[in-house]
Amino acid sequence: MSRETTILEKLRPVSAVDTAWPAEARAAALEKLLRDGTAEPAAAPRRPGRRRLVLTAALTTGIIAAGAGVATAGGLLPESFTGPLSFWTSETGGEVDVQTARRVAQGPGPDGTVLSVWTGRSPAGTVCVAPMFEAPGPIDRPAPGDFRLAGGQCAPPGARPQPFGSLGGSSTPDGVHTTWATAGDAVRAELRLPGGSVRPALFAEGLFFFWYEAIPDVAPPTLVGYDAAGAVVAERQLPDWDRLGK
């Protein structure tokens, strides 16, 4: 028995258990108590690092997403958008690059959408336009992933100016007509709809853009152009595109 064990043995009060606990076993238990009491405490377990790893991954994802958004807004248009506008390139013999497309005007459209006008221009001055319906937002937002193209056209530089009301357009099976009209001497135009309501037209690249619904047995609306002084330049009765050529 060690000296420390002997001291503990002498200090320990006498117990009735002593008679049932052999001296040799009691001494071994005291030795173990001394060893455990002087051993260095075990190091505290480390917390798992998963939370920090997840946070790092989230920050990295945020940086990548923000970079992609800036790139799209800066002109790197996705194929899902440039594909439908490829007629700009084919109609101009490759002069107009669809990557130059920019949203230049927008206004309320049907069913919670907006009618927006996109334009592109070649270095030589050829201009292409394309109206489309897309979700609303700031005019400088990135190109939409979901949209409905509503036609378009391209014009060479130096094309002869047309008087107010020369039309181009398209229609959908549900009777929504999207139309563009040459501005001529007008600086502003509006649509006079059946029932007396008025809707302003969008203006871009010398054209007015607007939409209206074909209503059976109801005359189409009238497009009215105004000069800078607010005087009426001309009026144009609009067609029902579905009935043209029938």
Residue 231 forms part of a structural domain: yes
* Residue 26: per-residue pLDDT: 52
Q: For the chain, what is the radius of gyration of the CA atoms?
A: 40
Tokens of 71: 């790139």
- Which element (helix H / strand E) includes 55? helix 50-73
**Looking at residues 65-73, what average pLDDT do you find?**
32
Supply the range of the domain harboring residue 161: 101-237
Residue 81: alpha-carbon gap to chain centroid: 13
Angle formed at CA 147 by CA 243 and CA 130, multiple of 5 degrees: 65
**Looking at residues 97-109, what average pLDDT do you find?**
96
* Residue 209 shares a structural domain with residue 119: yes
Q: What pTM was computed for the model?
A: 0.68
| Number of compact structural domains in the chain | 2
% of the chain beyond a pLDDT of 90: 58
* Residue 120 shares a structural domain with residue 232: yes
Would the pLDDT of 91 be above 80? yes
Ramachandran class of 166: left when φ > 0, alpha when ψ lies in -120 to 50, beta otherwise? beta
Query: 144-178: b or e for each residue (b if 16 or more CB lie within 10 Å)?
Result: beebebbbbebbeeeeeeeebbebbbbbbeeebbb
Token pair 């809707």: residue: 199
* Residue 150 shares a structural domain with residue 33: no
